[in-house]
A = this chain, B = another copy of it.
Amino acid sequence: MPIDKITPSVTEAVQGVKDGMTIMISGFGFAGVPNDLIHGVLDSGAKDLTVISNNAGTGTEGLAALVGSGRVTRIICSYPRSKGSDLFDARYAAGEIELELVPQGTLSERMRAAGAGIGGFFTPTGAGTELAAGKETRMIDGREYVLEAPLRADMALVQAQEADRWGNLLYRKAARNFGPVMAMAADLTVVQVKRIVALGEMDPEAVVTPGIFVDRVVHIDNNREWDI
């Protein structure tokens, strides 16, 4: 039976999302955010979610809408506050959302570790700062390192440019950002793409995320302008 990861709708793509899940969401600023999938999760009604994403959403839609809905009890990110992050800011000020702030390089490296079967790694980032408080440290070659744990998720929502039925992915410009490491680090990786191509159409030298890391693909070409 041919492998076919292409799913007909957003609803089916996010099927299985449940209360209490940890969900990774790709994107950096407004580039590479899987807005349709995020609204799929919002429509599912799932609550008590932990979201892992670089930012905490801006504007009124996408990640900001999810955070603003009150269904996210905890967010793990590197840079929550931006111009337009009012929905997050209000929840934070009201003590309604827990924030785990992670240095940005540590954030993606922890995802890669989870995806690559690494049990933990020593990084110099954050050594001697508040963000390393309570963490194991070690001097290695005269330099202080912090031990960081892998970061995995129940589900990853990723935005990419092109996919084929095996789930191979190509991205576009700086919208690539966290997509490839999140795809590795989640039990269920769901991807929204702008274009579906035939198997074998992608240059095998240029595939960025091979299908082994992808579970479901949904084609979204509505080109909707999101308020994010």
Contact = CB atoms under 8 A, between A and B. Distances in A.
Contacts of A120: 121-122, 138, 140, 145
Interface string A90-115: 00000000000000000001000100
Interface residues of A, number: 25
A220 interface: no
Most chain B C-beta atoms within 10 Å of own C-beta, residue among A118, A138, A141, A204: A118
B109 A138 contact: no
Nearest to A140: B119
Contact of A143 (B119, B122, B123, B143): B119
A117 B103 CA distance: 14
Most chain B C-beta atoms within 10 Å of own C-beta, residue among A122, A141, A145, A206: A122
Given A170-B205, A203-B206, A123 B113 contact: no
A116 interface: yes
A93 to B, nearest CB: 35
A59 interface: no
A113 B140 CA distance: 13
